Each structure stands twice: as structure tokens, then as C-alpha cells.
Structure 1
């Protein structure tokens, strides 16, 4: 059985490099069991017909209860389990947004300064993206 072009297309998972006050938000997974206790950039799958930037805003509202806006795409794209691929955007809280709180799939949040970035156990698939975020002037300034 051969795969069609549609089946071969990767499914995009968006991650947020949420920056605030020179710090990056890390979210600790509570589910599924094989990921629990590890840290990630919050986000989720892009739904059919949805722009990645819109998915990012939706996922941050669902997972963290915040109103955020995408700022720019972080260079790169990282493979996850087939057929998924990770794309990351920097994002910021919109004025008047409540602070983030873990609502879905997370049990802890931390704002990490540049010197604290590697003090948490990132999910393996997030490490390359976090390295790219680390290079950004918006984070290291």
C-alpha cells in the first residue's frame, strides 16, 4: 500500500516561547505518563484549516488560561513522532491577560531567566527548539 501525498504531509505542533520580563515560560507535563515530570514549551496541534499562529493563541488559552499574541517564528522545524513536526513561535502576553496557570496537561510552570534555562529537564524533542530560543536577542537581553 502506498502513501498518498496527503498522508505524507506532517502534522504541525506549535510550541510557544512565551517571553515576559526577559524570562521564558516552561511548563511541566503531568500527562501522558511517559512525559510526566519533564518540561516543555507549551502548545499543541494545529487543527485542519487553522493557521499555526491561530493554533498557538488557542492552545495557550486552553492550556494556560492566557491571552497571548505570536511575535515571530523561531528558526527551524524539529521532527517529533511521525507524522508530527514541531514549529515554535515567540509570543507575549497581551495587556490585561491574567498570568498563566496550569489548566491542561501540566502541573507546574516556571519563568526561567537565561541563566536558569537548563535548570529543568526539558523533553528531548524540545531541547533543539529551546537552544534556538536561547540565541534570540529578545530572550538574552
Structure 2
């Protein structure tokens, strides 16, 4: 009997700067998709709400504080399980307000990019899909 696939729940933040740019985070070189650009975020821990995980992950990765009242769901993307690797469900949230100056605490860098510039960045497949959805929802 075949087992049901296991999925990891992952959250990411689409953080605008108010001037038509979005914050992207460059993944640590030693991790999967190392060196690629992504919307910052990470895995949801057991018994953690997705928005709680987003607040925690953005603090850990970028050293910023998020106002929970300004978080709104935008879209999601998923990848099915492959071989021994679990599937991924990636939830994208728009972050309206934050305190602090984003910096790469865990990754290789951060940057502010227009939607067109994001399209030219090397990104993991799910971030490519999410960037296209974000661009449709928030055109320049």
C-alpha cells in the first residue's frame, strides 16, 4: 500500500518598499537552491500558525519586526513529493509594515527589486510561480 505524500508547509513574505520594489533574499550557498533569490521566509514549525512562522522567520532571516495586523495572504504554490523528498506548500503573504532595516542574517544578501528585475533573478521554481502571481495582483 502506497503511503500518502508528506508535505512541508512553508511561508514567505512579499515585502514592498512603497516605491514599486519588493524585497528578495538570496539563499545560503550551503542549502538547497543555494545562491538563488527568493521571497524571504521558512518552514512552519509544529503547532505554529503560518503567520506566526512568518513573523519568526522574517525576524531570524532579516532582523525585522513585522506588524501582524498588516499581514495578508496573497497566493500559494506547491510542489508534489519527489522520490524521498516531501512535497512543499508555499504560502505567500504580503507584509504591509515592518520595523528595522532588512539585512541578510542567514543568507547571502538582500535587495529591493522591481517586478521586472525579479523576473531576471535566478530563483527556485516555486518563487518563479509566486512572482508571476504577485505581478498580476500588484502591477507596477
TM-score w.r.t. the length of structure 2 is 0.82
Quote the residue 1:103 is aligned against: 105
The match for 1:83 among 70, 83, 87 is 87
SS in 1 for 2:51: helix
Per-residue deviation, residues 72-116 of structure 1 (Å, max 9, x unmatched): 21233322652322111111333xx11100001x11111012332
Preserved contact between residue 11 and residue 83 of structure 1 (Cα < 8 Å): yes
The match for 1:64 among 42, 62, 65 is 62
Aligned CA RMSD, in angstroms, stands at 2.1
Quote the residue 1:14 is aligned against: 11
State yes or no: 1:50 paired with 2:48.
Answer: yes
TM-score w.r.t. the length of structure 1 is 0.81
Q: How many residues align?
A: 133
Per-residue deviation, residues 11-39 of structure 1 (Å, max 9, x unmatched): 21001111121211111112335522211
Quote the residue 2:113 is aligned against: 112
Displacement of 1:117: 2.3
Uncovered stretches (5+) of structure 1, i.e. residues with no partner: none
Uncovered stretches (5+) of structure 2, i.e. residues with no partner: none
